[in-house]
Amino acid sequence: MLGRLRDKRVDRDWLNTNFPCMMACPAGTNAGRYVALIAEGRFEEAYRYARDPNPMASVCGRVCAHPCETACRRGAIDRPIAIRALKRFLTERYGPESRTPLSTTIRRCRRLTPI
């Protein structure tokens, strides 16, 4: 079984088949990952994951044409996941327009010397 996985190449065709929402997104956001994090209740991590490839996540949560939802595989079962609405939820809760925005910069520790 491991030999089968070792020889598997991840190319554009494989990504289109398995992650059509990510391939449809002009920003290349992996919507499936942050939607899964939201489902697990890990909202802060989901916000960081949604914002990582796209610094304008707050804007996209409101005005994006959401081609990811059209490509969503869940639509074949019943309805596609409301990816844009979930991104808006994250940005309103943790984005720059929220009351408690998360820092998206890496904090570095400075050494303090005793005086």
pLDDT tens per residue, range 41-57:
999 999 988 888 888 88
Q: Is 31 left (phi over 0), alpha (psi -120 to 50) or beta?
A: alpha
Give me the pLDDT at residue 103, please: 61
Structural domains in the chain? 12-94 (1.10.1060.10)
Is the four-CA dihedral 101, 105, 111, 112 of positive or negative sign?
A: negative
Question: Tell me, what amino acid is at 83?
Answer: I
Q: How far apart are CA 6 and CA 87, in angstroms?
A: 34
pTM here is 0.70
All residue ranges of the chain with pLDDT < 70 are: 1-8, 10, 12, 14-16, 99-115
Q: CB atoms < 10 A from the CB of 45, how many? A: 15
